[in-house]
Structure 1
Amino acid sequence: MTNEKFKGIIPAFYACYDEAGVVSEERTKALSLYLLEKGVKGLYVGGSSGECIYQNLEERKATLKFVAESVGGKLALIAHVGAPSTRESVELAKYAAELGYDALSAIPPIYFKLPESSIYRYWTDIIEASELPFIIYNIPQTTGYNLSLNLFAKMIENKKVIGVKNSSMPVLDIERFKAAGGEDFIVFNGPDEQYVAGRLIGADSGIGGTYAAMPELYLKAEEYVATGNFAKARSIQKDINNLIIALCSLNGNMYSAIKEVLKLRGVNVGSVRAPLEPVTGADLDKVAAIKDQIDATIAKYLD
């Protein structure tokens, strides 16, 4: 396996619940197969989009298992194993390795503001738990820690660290991590609103929370970037951003809106887990309009 396996459109996988809010094997496998059929390169399982912070260890293991059973060996699978404690993260890392995942990833420790020495030790303990390669996850807007170049340089001394999922908003961060990491090191663009900009400044790939709502558009955006059609790339990014803004405009969590869109597209993955709020009332009618907007945008670029 080479790092090329991870280059492409990799949706951040959503938590899939039944009507009682229990992790659903049927719905998890259905979403996995739906995204496989759409032509994505891989799946990032158990991260922010997977509502990992609101799930217990067994629920997270169940999702990892169901995804691996449905598309393991067919898609590049990255297991996000960041958890409140190192003990839990290491347990998830070992389990993902047993299931045949292709790589591990983790946010830095949350809640307590820790020194970089603690973050380094946390990530290193996860890395040492298995033989799998590791992808750093930098998302300062939720964790409160922005990966420094000093810690980055120290982390990539470990040859098992093959990439960074960078979700900080400045595209400069992508360029700096790529410059420091080198040609073979993978930088994943995190913010969906800047996919094209991220790719042009140095990102090799992308992992995003809205990809699964409209995979056709991100696959097309990647095609435009890869073939040098930058006018079309700018145009589709603008249209993607209009859709993201619409998904974030409702009363309720963005992932709830996305799940309602998916339901209208024939893939029911349930709702979100509290304290995330579902879309309700009149906003459900707005979801239908957003779904139609997504369909119209897909038709615009795929005709």
Structure 2
Amino acid sequence: MTLKKFHGILPAFYACYDDQGNISEARTKDLCNYLFDKGVQGVYVGGSSGECIYQNLEERKAVLSYVADQLKGKMTLIAHVGAPSTRDSIELAKHAATLGYDALSAIPPIYFKLPESAVYKYWTDIMEATPLDFIIYNIPQTTGYTLTPAMFQKLLANKKVIGVKNSSMPTMDIERFKKVGGDNVIVFNGPDEQFVSGRIMGADAGIGGTYAVMPELFLQANEFVKSGKFDVARQIQSDINEIIIALCSLQGSMYAAIKEVLNRRGVNVGSVRAPLEGITSEDIAPIEDIMKLIDQAIERYCE
């Protein structure tokens, strides 16, 4: 029963900046309200989509606070607390616990190539700092560390570990982690481009960086999978992938493009923080085309 609250579509929450590039409380809460109205089951706060590595500790704590103020008790809240040092990660974890988050999550340590014993201790030290459940975050393409089924099995000896957010590309990894954990763990599909295949291979839910710009499509794809309508689920995944490819084909970063779409929808979340690149004048026309692709897909599958 406890794990059920982690099922469904959980957008990775975007960093919301004011016009000067500072964290905006008002814009953060506006995005909270937007996602609540869309009917998603939860949010993953402070991860890659939240530009966590480009924010200082106080900024990250502020974002966690603003989201909790607006959404606590309304949907599942997962706080990503991965940071360059164990000390900072623990401080973020304790802060999230005081705010009433449902679970913590963290990438492995970054920059230095550490032995697996150090990675294990990093995650364990965070877990032991609070009573909250913990979700391992596996994203080897950015961290350089690949979670193995054996390491996952070892981590599951700690009862606080309830699952893994798996953002490696092979869907087989999802099947392997689900086989290790069984019904006692939640496996989240990470790569948005393989949401449907990830669910079919055993993922219980999804956390993704493009969910918030087209939540209707992921919510509907999830319903198609649950009802066994796999042919139409594959069709909607194909349309989602066309949108993601377009978002990644601009001069500005994918997140800058996503934010511009939201801004044009009346949900002003600002732009991105350097060194991520903002959109250019050449990106405006393609972004308008992307908005049309999203709207057409929503009309095709969700209305």
Interval of TM-score (by shorter of Structure 1 and Structure 2)? over 0.9
Structure 1 residue 281: Cα displacement: 1.1
Structure 1 residue 273: Cα displacement: 0.2
Segment drifting more, 22-31 vs 278-287: 278-287
Structure 1's consecutive aligned runs of 4 or more residues displaced over 3 angstroms after TM superposition are none
- Work out whether residues 79 and 101 of structure 1, in 8 Å CA contact, stay in contact via their aligned partners in 2: yes
**Deviation by residue 1:200-256 (Cα, 9 ceiling, x = unmatched):** 010000000000000000000000000000111010000000000000000011000
**Deviation by residue 1:31-64 (Cα, 9 ceiling, x = unmatched):** 0110001000000000000000000000000100
Q: For 1:227-242, what aligned pairs fall within 5 Å after superposition?
A: 227-242=227-242
What's the Cα RMSD here? 0.7
Q: Aligned AA for 1:254? A: M
**What does residue 262 of structure 1 align with?**
262
Q: Aligned AA for 1:258? A: I
- In structure 2, C-alpha distance between the alignment counterparts of 1:293 and 1:249, rounded to whole Å: 14
- Work out whether residues 248 and 254 of structure 1, in 8 Å CA contact, stay in contact via their aligned partners in 2: yes
Structure 1 residue 277: Cα displacement: 0.1
**What does residue 173 of structure 2 align with?**
173
**What does residue 278 of structure 1 align with?**
278
**Deviation by residue 1:266-291 (Cα, 9 ceiling, x = unmatched):** 10100000000001112122111111
**What does residue 17 of structure 1 align with?**
17
- Length-normalised TM-score, structure 1: 0.99
Q: Aligned AA for 1:218? A: F
- Unaligned residue ranges in structure 2 (runs of 5+): none
Q: SS in structure 1 opposite 2:37? A: helix
Query: Are residues 1:79 and 2:79 paired?
Result: yes
Q: Aligned AA for 2:96? A: A
Structure 1 residue 167: Cα displacement: 0.1
- In structure 1, C-alpha distance between the alignment counterparts of 2:275 and 2:215, rounded to whole Å: 27
- In structure 2, C-alpha distance between the alignment counterparts of 1:23 and 1:288, rounded to whole Å: 26
**What does residue 137 of structure 1 align with?**
137
Q: For 1:1-303, what aligned pairs fall within 5 Å after superposition?
A: 2-303=2-303
Q: Aligned AA for 1:282? A: E
**Deviation by residue 1:111-140 (Cα, 9 ceiling, x = unmatched):** 000011000000000000100000000000
- In structure 1, C-alpha distance between the alignment counterparts of 2:280 and 2:256, rounded to whole Å: 9
Q: Aligned AA for 1:224? A: F
- Unaligned residue ranges in structure 1 (runs of 5+): none
Q: Aligned AA for 1:16? A: C
Segment drifting more, 228-237 vs 282-291: 282-291
Q: Aligned AA for 2:297? A: T
Q: Aligned AA for 1:37? A: D
- Work out whether residues 271 and 278 of structure 1, in 8 Å CA contact, stay in contact via their aligned partners in 2: yes
- In structure 1, C-alpha distance between the alignment counterparts of 2:55 and 2:134, rounded to whole Å: 22
Structure 1 residue 265: Cα displacement: 1.3
- Length-normalised TM-score, structure 2: 0.99
User: Percent identical across equivalent pairs?
Assistant: 69
